[in-house]
Amino acid sequence: MEQLSSFLITLDGFLGSAQYFPILLLGVGIFFTIYLGFPQVRYFRHAWRILAGRYDDKDAPGDTTHFQALATALSGTVGTGNIGGVALALHVGGPAALFWMWATALFGMTTKFVEVLISYKYRVVDEEGHMAGGPMYYMDRGMNMRWLAILFAVACVATSFGTGSMPQANNIAQAMDATFGLSPYWTGGVLAVALGLVIIGGIKRIAAVTSKLVPFMAAAYGIGALAVIVSNLEFVGPAFVSVFRDAFSGSAAAGGFLGASFAYAFNRGVNRGLFSNEAGQGSAPIAHASAKGREPVSEGFVAILEPFIDTILICTLTGLVILSSGVWNEKFPNDFQDSDTIILAGDLTDSDAQHVTALSAFLTDQPSSVQRYSGTIEVQNGEATHEGFTILHARSVAENVTYHIGQNRRFTGEVMVRDGRIAEPDVYLRGESLIHSAALTVEAFNRSFLGSIGPYIVAFGLMLFAFSTALAWSYYGDRSMTFLFGTKSIMPYRLVYVVGFFLAAIADTTLIWQIAAITMVVMTLPNLLGLMVMRKEIRQEIRNYWTGFSKAHPDAPNPAPKDTG
């Protein structure tokens, strides 16, 4: 597992964590925002009118309503990214990461608009009479680049596990274990059965479930988040200040947080922003392709609302809860995960400014005097008997560390350490350190007048968020399988998807996030390329839409400019 984790980290260094990726992602959104004249602002009200059904055509082809398609797409984005993903971004990049999540969402509204628009135009009816769409269809039928379409579809199938199934199941299991002490085996087993029962019915059953789940879970989570914010109202202002103050300079060390450079905060904020709202990834167009309608641009307008609801609203609530409550830089007792633990040479502390500077540089891949420890640690009744080394866990200096073997047995003996990693597979550590992902959000929800009720809101909210995300991504995967192999491949895919959901519930959290980060980027790059190639056709479609709309609805509000370009 350690070798696999190291390989994934190296691979991610060429993909999502590479400097070019967030710049490319934001760049495409900025380009289309300027190229199309800020559609996320001009067409925002019009999008709500379409969603309300004001211009519906009941006889239009499709399987779902605009609202059901939006709910399905939102269920694919409103998930662990909003709870665990935001927490992870703040854990790694500090408050500044939230600013870059907002920026990703603002320009992502335009990216989502254009990717849904062009994909909807090239949707088809499959062998069973259902709508099938997504970037693979515009790449194949619009660009005549089937090889690129195949690459996207294969990446989408892989991402349905790496983003849609695996991290969702893992975060649910983590939250239920932390809140209720419920075994991941039980959590994964019960929800895997429920998942199978829903996805067997295809898009109509998925849309029926998500259209009810999404509004309910968003409202419940929002109420719980506001309770925390109100309880910590005096710290909300400073939290906002830190988000904007650190945006272009990076976040300074505070408490157990060892600091983050601008590049790190920018990269993690954009990366987590994408994981949250999926703008540019090409997933949402697959859900929107099922919507009843005749106008590609009209469905694109509906998609503008997704990053706004997902990131500007829900992710901001999570970010303010974590920052205002102060849990983001506090240490908590927890079991250490091997992939999140590094043992360093020397006695280092986060109360020494020079040590903090060196540790921060080490964690952000900058030149540093800090070296990994290799050697042995003598342990007596769970406690180290000598010094000369420092344990980092979750990017923080760990305190009160004890060594264990088995469920509740303290270890006595010699622990071998090679290049900063414990070489004894049966020995694990407990202690106090920073925490991240869903566990951090759970702690934040403890800090309100709701008291012990807060974590239950997170646990159930996370379960509903993540479960609905798994539903949406099962549909994305089966539409990609349909493109690649036809409808006969759908049922085998669904079976493997459900099994993968169960297995991920008992896997290592950090490893799951690493897999998700990689598969997400592999899917995104072909779509960004395709959108740039199709840019002129996209702009022409918008012009044609407003010409037809003015004739069909002469008395309706029309936000179109005289020239959209």
Lowest pLDDT segment from 144-153, 247-256, 388-397:
247-256
What dihedral do alpha carbons 264, 393, 460, 220 form, nearest 10°? Answer: -40
Average pLDDT score over the chain: 87
The pLDDT value recorded for residue 394 is: 93
Q: What is the pTM of this model?
A: 0.83
Model confidence at 441: pLDDT above 80 = yes
Mean pLDDT on 517-540: 91
Model confidence at 564: pLDDT above 60 = no
The pLDDT value recorded for residue 358 is: 94
The pLDDT value recorded for residue 490 is: 92
Instruction: Count the neighbouring beta carbons within 10 Å of the beta carbon of residue 258.
Output: 27
| Domain boundaries along the sequence of the chain | 2-30+42-330+444-552, 334-433
- At 39-66, the pLDDT tens digits run 999 999 999 999 988 888 888 888 888 8
Q: What's the pLDDT band for 493 if we cut at 50, 70, 90?
A: very high
Helix (H, G, I), strand (E, B) or coil at 371: coil
Model confidence at 427: pLDDT above 60 = yes
Closest C-alpha among 259, 375, 256, 279 to residue 77: 279
Lowest pLDDT segment from 354-358, 365-369, 461-465, 530-534:
461-465
Model confidence at 25: pLDDT above 90 = no
Q: What's the pLDDT band for 565 if we cut at 50, 70, 90?
A: very low
pLDDT higher for 55 or 431?
431
The pLDDT value recorded for residue 531 is: 96
Mean pLDDT on 86-112: 90
The pLDDT value recorded for residue 543 is: 93
- At 286-329, the pLDDT tens digits run 999 999 998 999 999 999 999 999 888 888 999 999 999 999 99
CB-neighbour burial class of residue 18 (10 A; exposed 0-12, middle 13-18, buried 19+): middle
Model confidence at 479: pLDDT above 60 = yes
Gyration radius of the chain's alpha carbons: 24
Contacts with 172 (C-beta within 8 Å, 6 or more apart), sequence order: 187, 191, 462, 463, 466, 467, 505
Counts for the chain of helices (H) and strands (E), in that order: 25, 13
Q: What's the pLDDT band for 80 if we cut at 50, 70, 90?
A: low
Euclidean distance between CA atoms 195 and 201, whole angstroms: 11
Return the CATH fold of 2-30+42-330+444-552.
Amino acid/polyamine transporter I (1.20.1740)
Helix (H, G, I), strand (E, B) or coil at 373: coil
Q: Are 167 and 80 in contact (CB under 8 A)?
A: yes
Model confidence at 551: pLDDT above 80 = yes
Indicate the DSSP class of residue 134: S
Contacts with 494 (C-beta within 8 Å, 6 or more apart), sequence order: 196, 199, 200, 474, 478
The pLDDT value recorded for residue 278 is: 81
Mean pLDDT on 372-395: 95
- Tokens 């789940």, residue located: 213
Identity at 293, one-letter amino acid code: G
- Alpha helix stretches (DSSP H) within 232-260: 236-245
261: phi then psi, degrees, rounded to nearest 5: -75, 165
What percent of the chain is modeled with pLDDT above 70?
A: 96
Model confidence at 372: pLDDT above 60 = yes
Mean pLDDT on 109-115: 96
The pLDDT value recorded for residue 434 is: 94
Instruction: Count the neighbouring beta carbons within 10 Å of the beta carbon of residue 486.
Output: 11
Helix (H, G, I), strand (E, B) or coil at 463: helix
- At 142-201, the pLDDT tens digits run 999 999 999 999 989 988 887 778 777 877 887 778 777 888 899 889 988 999 999 988
Mean pLDDT on 273-280: 77
Model confidence at 509: pLDDT above 60 = no
Indicate the DSSP class of residue 60: S
Euclidean distance between CA atoms 399 and 393, whole angstroms: 9
Model confidence at 339: pLDDT above 90 = no
Closest C-alpha among 516, 461, 476 to residue 72: 476
- At 185-244, the pLDDT tens digits run 998 899 889 999 999 888 888 888 888 888 888 888 888 899 999 999 999 999 989 999
